[in-house]
Structure 1
Amino acid sequence: MTGRVLVARMDNVGDVLLAGPCVRAVAAGAGHVTLLAGPRGRAGAELLPGVDRILTWCAPWIDPEPAPVSPADTSAFVDRLRALELDRALILTSFHQSPLPLALLLRMAGIPWVGAISEDYPGSLLDLRHRVEGDPPEAERALSLATAAGFRLPPGDDGKLAVRRPLPDTHALTGRPGYVVVHPAASVPARQPSALRSAATVTALVRAGHRVVVTGGPGDRPLTAAVAGNHAVDLGGRTGLPELAAVLQDATVVVAPNTGPAHLAAAVGTPVVSLFAPVVPAARWAPYGVPVIVLGDQAAPCRDSRVRNCPIAGHPCLESITPDQVVQAAEELSADRGGGLQTGGVS
C-alpha cells in the first residue's frame, strides 16, 4: 500500500464531485489521502468518501477571479505541502488547464512522485505524463489517471459519483420525499436559463401535478424567489451542501443547468433533466452515472466556446427549451429510473 497521497482538484464543487471515483481508487491503495481543493470547491471535498484531510489554496492560474500572485502566499503554501511529508501526488485538471504550475510547487515541496494528464512537455516536473484519448466523461477521465498510477477501485465500487453518509434530515424543509427539484442557477450566465424561463418551468410542473422545490445558494435568493413564486417551496440560501444533497436525494428528479448541484444530484443517485448550454461538451460534463435527459441545442453557435456570457442574442440554446419539454422529460425520468443518457436538441 502506498503511503501518503495528495489528489489535487482545484475548481468548483461540481469538478470536485466528479473527481470522487478517482479519489476512492487512490484511497483503496493509500494509507492516507489529502485532497487539495480551491476555496470554491472545498464544500464538495468535505462530502467525498475516501478523503482523510482537506488542504485549501487558491491557485491563481485556475480560479476565475484570482488575487495577484503573492510570493509570500505561494511560499507558505509550499511550506504547508512540505510539512505533510507526502509520498505521491496526482493532479486533476480540466482539459484546458495545465497541471505544470502546481507540479512545480509540489516538486519545490519535496514530493518525490507526481502524476498528471498533460499535453504540455513536463520536463522533470512529472513522473507520470498520462494521455487520454477521445472525449470521455470527466469522471472517467480523472479515474483513468488513478488507474495509470496503479490505483484501482475496490471490489464492489461501481465507479459512480458518491457522497459521505449519513446526510442530514431535511424533511422539515421539503415535506415528504417525492417532489421535483428545480435549481435555476449556474456559476456563469452562459449556462443559466433566464428567471422567466425557469419560473415558467416551475408553473408547468405544478400544473402537471408535481410538488416543486426550488434550490439555490445564498447569492441566489432573489432568483429562487422569482422562480418559485407562489407555486413552489423556496429553499434559496437555506441549505448548506450536505443539506442540499439530502434535498436532492429525496427528489424524484432534478431539473438543473450545467452546475455543481446537477453533479450533486448524480452523486446521491437522482435522475437529472439537464438544461445544458453547449459552451462545453455535454458528453464530458453532463451529470454522470444516473439517468439523464439533456435538453438544449447542442449544435448552437456557442458550441465549445467556454464563454461566460452568451454571445448570441436571446440565449437561444436554453431559452428555446419549452416548459412542456421539461415536464415531459421529468415525467419520463420519474417513471423509469433505469434509462441512460439521452440528448435531445431543441429547435
Structure 2
Amino acid sequence: MTRVLVVRLDSDGDVLLSGPAVRAVAAGADEVVALVGPRGRQAAGLLPGVDAVTVWRCAWVDGEPPPVTRADTLAVVDALAALRIDEAVVLTSFHQSPLPTALVLRLAGIPRITAASVDYPGSLLDVRLRPGDPVLDPTVDLPDDLPEAERAVAIAARAGYPLPAGDDGRLAVALDDEARAQAAALLAARDVTGDYVVLHPGASVPARAWSPHRAAEGVAALAAAGHRVVVTGAPGESDLTAAVAGRDGVDLGGRTGFGSLAAVLAGARAVVVGNTGPAHLASAVGVPVVSLFAPVVPPERWAPYGVRRILLGDQDAPCRGTRARTCPVPGHPCLDTVRGAHIVDAVATLVHGE
C-alpha cells in the first residue's frame, strides 16, 4: 500500500488550485493524505482524491507566522512520522522554497520527496523540478508564468503521477447532499428561486479586495440591470456584506460554510469576486467569473482557472508584482477604477455573450 503526502500549506484558494495534482497522485497511489495549513483545511476537505487531512501551521508559509521553536518542530516531525508516509509531493508557488518543509519531512522519515526548487537541495529532495531544467518528458516543464494549477500538476507528474486519461485538469470539489440542502434552504428563505449573480466583496488579503463603496455600487448596478444579486462572505465579514448588499442585494454573509458556499456559487449564473479563495471555488464548480484582479501577483498564475472569465482592474498599476498585502498606492487605483457599469457589462458578456 502506497501512502502519499501531498503538501500545500497556504490558504483555501491555493489548496483548491492543487486539486488536479491531488487527483493525479490519487490515481496512482493507494491513499492520499493532504498536509495543509489551517487556512486551507476547508478546501482540502472538499478535494476529490483526498483520503485524510492533516493540518500544520507552518512558520515559513503562513501569512501570520508563529515563531519557529524546537518543541513545535519536533512535535510536527513526530506527528508526520506516525502517519507512516511512503513519499511526499511538496507543492509550492514560484516564490516559495520547499526546502525547509522538505527538511521536516526528511526528519519524519519520509523516504522519497519531490518538489520544485531553484536552490540546490542536497539530499533533501529525491526528485527535483526547476525552471529551465531539461526534462525527460517535454510535457513536464516548468516555464515562467505557468498557472498555479498546471505548476502543481507538473510537480506531481515529475514524481511519477501524471493526470489520468480523461481528467481535463480543471479544478473540482465534491459537494455532499448536506451542503446542497443548506444552500437551497438559505436561498429559499430569502426568496431567491430563479437566476442570480453572486458578488463576494471580501478577500483574505486586503490589497486584493474591491473597496466596499465600489462593491455596493456594483450590487446596485447589477440590480438595476435586472439581476438578483446574492452577496456572500465569511463569518467575520458580516458587517461588510450587509453594507455592500444594502437594499438591492441578498445578504448571505457569515451564513455559509465552505461547502454550502460552494453550492451557492454553483447555482449562480456568474460570480463577481477578487483574487481570493471563493474565486477558485467558483472555478471548481464551473461557474463563469468576473475577476477583480489586483496585479500584486501575476494573473497568469492566479487568475480563475479552467472557466470562462473576464479580468477587471489595471494590470499595469504601480503595485504590480509587489505581492503587497496592504495596498501601497493611495486610492487603490488598480481596482477602484472599476465601476458598477463595468461589472454589468462583464456579467452580460459572460452570461449572454454580449
Aligning the two structures, in what range does the TM-score lie when normalised by the shorter sequence?
A: over 0.9
Taking the aligned partners of 1:323 and 1:133, their CA distance within structure 2 comes to 36
Q: Which amino acid aligns with 1:155?
A: A
Q: Residues 247-326 of structure 1 correspond to what in structure 2 (within 5 A)?
A: 247-326=264-343
Partner of 2:185: 172
Partner of 1:223: 240
2:197–2:229 contact (8 Å) kept in structure 1: yes
* Residue 239 (1) aligns with residue 251 (2): no
Q: Which amino acid aligns with 1:142?
A: A
Q: 1:140 deviation in Å?
A: 0.3
1:3–1:32 contact (8 Å) kept in structure 2: yes
Identical positions, percent: 61
Per-residue CA deviations over 1:67-122 (Å, capped at 9, x if unaligned) read: 21222221111111111111110111111111001100111011110000111110
Taking the aligned partners of 2:278 and 2:230, their CA distance within structure 1 comes to 14
Taking the aligned partners of 1:165 and 1:59, their CA distance within structure 2 comes to 28
2:175–2:263 contact (8 Å) kept in structure 1: no
SS in 2 for 1:168: helix
CA gap of 1:288–1:70, structure 2 versus 1, over 3 A, is same
Report the count of equivalent residues: 336
- With structure 1 as the length reference, what TM-score do the two structures score? 0.95
* Residue 151 (1) aligns with residue 164 (2): no
1:177–1:250 contact (8 Å) kept in structure 2: no
Q: 1:154 deviation in Å?
A: 2.2
Q: Which amino acid aligns with 2:167?
A: D
Q: 1:165 deviation in Å?
A: 3.0
2:17–2:149 contact (8 Å) kept in structure 1: yes
Q: 1:245 deviation in Å?
A: 0.1
1:177–1:251 contact (8 Å) kept in structure 2: no
Match 1:138 to one of 143, 148, 156 = 148
Structure 2 residues without counterparts, runs of 5 or longer: 131-141
SS in 2 for 1:251: coil
Q: 1:176 deviation in Å?
A: 2.3
Structure 1 residues without counterparts, runs of 5 or longer: 340-347
Q: 1:171 deviation in Å?
A: 2.0
1:34–1:54 contact (8 Å) kept in structure 2: yes
Q: 1:188 deviation in Å?
A: 1.5
Structure 1 range deviating more: 264-273 or 89-98:
89-98
2:201–2:274 contact (8 Å) kept in structure 1: yes
Q: Which amino acid aligns with 2:92?
A: T
Per-residue CA deviations over 1:24-72 (Å, capped at 9, x if unaligned) read: 0000000010000000100000000000010101000111112212222
Per-residue CA deviations over 1:143-166 (Å, capped at 9, x if unaligned) read: 001111111222221110000133
Q: Which amino acid aligns with 1:253?
A: A
Taking the aligned partners of 1:94 and 1:225, their CA distance within structure 2 comes to 34
- With structure 2 as the length reference, what TM-score do the two structures score? 0.93
SS in 1 for 2:2: strand
Partner of 1:342: none
Q: 1:177 deviation in Å?
A: 4.6
Partner of 1:198: 215
